[in-house]
Structure 1
C-alpha cells in the first residue's frame, strides 16, 4: 500500500502523557514516510496530519513546522542529559560523567531503530534537515562544555576553559562516530561495544590527572616483633622530616 493511499481514521489528540507521546510518534512516522516517498519539499503539513489520522491544528499543537516533526524528542533528551550531569557526584570523573550522559542520545536512537534509520536517510539527502541535526549536536556539546568547565575550575585547573571546550567536542565526536557507524551498518553494528571503546579513549585523553598520593612505606620486621615495635617503626617512617 502506498503512502498516498494510506488514510487512517481520524483520531483524537492524546489526553494522557502516554497518549500524547504515541500521537507525537505517529506524526513523526507519518512525516518521515511521506518525505521518503514523495520528497521533503513536496510534502505538506496537511498531508502529514492526514496520514497520522489527525487535523492540521493537532499537528501544530505538537510541532511548529514539518521540520520539527523529524526531531521530536531532542528537547526531552537534552533535559535528561542536563539532569544526569546535575545529579552526578562531585567525586566522579567529570569526563566519564559526560560520556555516560551522552550515551542517552545513543539509547534514544536505539529505542526506535526503524525511525532512526529512516531519519538518517533523510538527513543525508535534505540539507536543511542535516543542518538542523548539526545544530542539535552543537547544543549537546555546549551543555557538556559548561558542565566540564565548572568541574575543572572547581579542581583548580588553570586551563579549565580550554580543556572543557576540547573535551566536550571529543565527547560529541565520539558519540557521533559510534552513532553514524551504527546507522551506516543498518543497525547491525555492536553499538555498545563501539561506544565503550570510543568513550574510554576520551576519558583517557581528557580526565584530570590523579593527584599523587603519599609515600608508600615498607617495613621489614621479624615475625616475632611485638605490635608496639611495629607501630613505633611505622610511625617513625611516616613522621615528616625536620
Structure 2
C-alpha cells in the first residue's frame, strides 16, 4: 500500500509521539507535588494534570477525533467531562473503583480500536464509551486532591474547573486539528486510522506494563 507524502509525514509525526509511551510518565502535577492552597493553584493543577500524563492525554486527544465522526464534536466530549468530574467526586467521597489503571489503559485500546476500524459507532455508543472511561480517568485524577494532608474548598473548585476545561478544549481542539491541518473528514481516512493504531498501541503498552508490574509484585520481585 502506497501513501502520499502527507500520509508519510503523518506516520512520522505519530511515530514520534508514540515513542513517548515507552518513557516513564511525568509527575502528573505542574506544582511538582507541592501542596495546593489557593484557587489558582488548584486550577493550574487541574489544567496540568491531564497534559502531563501521557495515558490521559492520549485518550483525550483520541476521544476528540472519535467525537468528530459522531457529528457532535463539541458536545460528545461533554459525556467524558461529566463522568470524569463524577469519578473525581467518588474518590473524594472515599469510594473505591476497581482496577483503575487497567481500565484506563483498556480505554485507550478501545478508543484507538474505534478509530482504527474506520467506522463511527454512533453518538450514543460513543458517548457511553467516553462516560465509562471518564469515570475511571476522573477517579485517577482525584488522587491528586485526596493525597494532600489538608485541602480547601477553593482548591477543589479550582481543580475541577481546570480539569474539566482543559480536557474539553483538548478534545475539541484535536477534532478541529485533524480537519483543518490533516484534512480528515471521514472515519475511513487512512490518517485517522493510523492515529487510532498508535493510540491503541500506547494503551497496550500501558496495560502490559501494569500486568507485568502486578505479576512481579505477586512474585515478590519488586
For the aligned pair, the TM-score class normalised by the smaller chain equals: 0.3 to 0.5
Which structure's CA Rg is the greater one? 1
By relative contact order (CA 8 Å, sep 6+), the higher-ranking structure is 2
Task: Answer 1 or 2: which has greater helix percent.
Answer: 2
**Could you state the TM-score of these two structures normalised by the residue count of structure 2?**
0.33
